[in-house]
Structure 1
Amino acid sequence: MVTTISSVAVVGTGYMGGGIAQSLALAGLPVTIADVSVEATEAAYTRLLAEAQQFEDEGLYDAGATETIRANLRTAGSIEEAVADADFVEEAVFESIEVKHEVLGRISAAARADAVIGSNTSTIPARVLVTAVTNPERFLTVHFSNPAPFIPGVELVLSEQTDPEVVPVVRELLARADRQGALVADVPGFVLNRLQYVLLKEAMSIAEEGIASPEDIDTVVRTTFGFRLGFFGPFAIADQAGLDVYAGGFRTFEENFGERLATPDLIKEAVDGDRKGVKNGKGLTRDYTPEQVKALVDYRNKAYSEMGRLLRAMGPAPA
Structure 2
Amino acid sequence: MKTVTVIGAGVMGNGVAQVSATGGYKVMLNDISNDALTKAMATIEKNLGKMVNKGKITEDDAKATLQRITITTNLEEACKDADLIVECVLENLELKKKIFADLERFCKPETILGTNTSAIPVTEIASATSRGEQVIGIHFMNPVPLMKGVEVIKGQLTSEETMKITLNYVEKIGKESAIAVDFAGFIVSRLLDVLMNEAIKLVQEGNSPEEIDKAMQLCAGHPMGPCTLLDLVGAEIAMHGMETMERDFGDRYKPHPLLKKRVQAGLLGKKSGKGFYTYDN
Q: Say yes or no: TM over 0.5.
A: yes
Which whole-Å CA distance do the structure 2 matches of 1:87 and 1:32 have between them? 11
Question: Once the 2 structures are TM-superposed, how far is the Cα of residue 114 of structure 1 from its aligned partner?
Answer: 0.8
When residues 61 and 19 of structure 1 are mapped into structure 2, their CA distance, relative to the original with a 3 A threshold, is farther
Which sections of structure 1, spanning at least 5 residues, go unmatched? 230-259, 261-316
Which whole-Å CA distance do the structure 2 matches of 1:45 and 1:217 have between them? 33
Partner of 1:50: 45
Which whole-Å CA distance do the structure 2 matches of 1:188 and 1:160 have between them? 13
Alignment partner for residue 168 of structure 1, among 157, 161, 164?
164
Partner of 1:126: 122
Q: What one-letter code is carried by the residue in structure 2 that aligns with 1:68?
A: A
Mean Cα displacement is larger for which, 74-83 or 52-61? 52-61
When residues 46 and 194 of structure 1 are mapped into structure 2, their CA distance, relative to the original with a 3 A threshold, is closer
Q: How does 1:139-178 map to 2 (within 5 A)?
A: 139-178=135-174
Question: Once the 2 structures are TM-superposed, how far is the Cα of residue 10 of structure 1 from its aligned partner?
Answer: 0.8
Partner of 2:236: none
Partner of 1:17: 13
1:96 corresponds to 2:92: yes
When residues 117 and 44 of structure 1 are mapped into structure 2, their CA distance, relative to the original with a 3 A threshold, is farther
Which whole-Å CA distance do the structure 1 matches of 2:211 and 2:14 have between them? 35
Question: Once the 2 structures are TM-superposed, how far is the Cα of residue 81 of structure 1 from its aligned partner?
Answer: 1.2
SS of 2:170's equivalent in the other structure is helix
Which whole-Å CA distance do the structure 2 matches of 1:60 and 1:194 have between them? 36
Partner of 2:214: 219
* TM-score scaled by length of structure 2: 0.71
Q: How does 1:162-241 map to 2 (within 5 A)?
A: 162-203=158-199, 214-227=209-222
Tell whether the 8 Å contact from 2:10 to 2:36 is kept in structure 1 after alignment. Answer: no
Which sections of structure 2, spanning at least 5 residues, go unmatched? 225-251, 253-276
Alignment partner for residue 70 of structure 1, among 54, 60, 66?
66
SS of 1:9's equivalent in the other structure is strand
Tell whether the 8 Å contact from 1:117 to 1:138 is kept in structure 2 after alignment. Answer: yes
Q: Deviations over 1:180-212 (max 9, x none)?
A: 1111111111111111123234445566667x7
When residues 219 and 93 of structure 1 are mapped into structure 2, their CA distance, relative to the original with a 3 A threshold, is same
Q: Deviations over 1:221-255 (max 9, x none)?
A: 213433589xxxxxxxxxxxxxxxxxxxxxxxxxx
SS of 1:165's equivalent in the other structure is helix
Which whole-Å CA distance do the structure 2 matches of 1:56 and 1:100 have between them? 33
Q: How does 1:278-293 map to 2 (within 5 A)?
A: none
Which whole-Å CA distance do the structure 2 matches of 1:84 and 1:60 have between them? 36
When residues 41 and 79 of structure 1 are mapped into structure 2, their CA distance, relative to the original with a 3 A threshold, is farther
Q: What one-letter code is carried by the residue in structure 1 that aligns with 2:54?
A: G
Q: What one-letter code is carried by the residue in structure 2 that aligns with 1:89?
A: I
Question: Once the 2 structures are TM-superposed, how far is the Cα of residue 170 of structure 1 from its aligned partner?
Answer: 0.7
Q: What one-letter code is carried by the residue in structure 2 that aligns with 1:56?
A: M
When residues 60 and 168 of structure 1 are mapped into structure 2, their CA distance, relative to the original with a 3 A threshold, is farther
Which whole-Å CA distance do the structure 1 matches of 2:183 and 2:139 have between them? 13
The structure with more radius of gyration: 1
SS of 2:160's equivalent in the other structure is coil
How many pairs are equivalent? 227
Which whole-Å CA distance do the structure 2 matches of 1:71 and 1:97 have between them? 33
Tell whether the 8 Å contact from 1:49 to 1:69 is kept in structure 2 after alignment. Answer: no
Alignment partner for residue 115 of structure 1, among 93, 111, 115?
111
Question: Once the 2 structures are TM-superposed, how far is the Cα of residue 15 of structure 1 from its aligned partner?
Answer: 1.1
SS of 1:101's equivalent in the other structure is helix
Q: Quick one: percent identity of the two aligned structures?
A: 27
Q: How does 1:238-277 map to 2 (within 5 A)?
A: none
Tell whether the 8 Å contact from 1:22 to 1:48 is kept in structure 2 after alignment. Answer: no
Question: Once the 2 structures are TM-superposed, how far is the Cα of residue 25 of structure 1 from its aligned partner?
Answer: 0.3
Which whole-Å CA distance do the structure 1 matches of 2:187 and 2:176 have between them? 14
How large is the Cα RMSD of the aligned pairs? 2.8
Which whole-Å CA distance do the structure 2 matches of 1:228 and 1:52 have between them? 22
Q: Deviations over 1:55-91 (max 9, x none)?
A: 2355285223421311311224511111111111111
Question: Once the 2 structures are TM-superposed, how far is the Cα of residue 318 of structure 1 from its aligned partner?
Answer: 9.4
* TM-score scaled by length of structure 1: 0.63
1:136 corresponds to 2:166: no
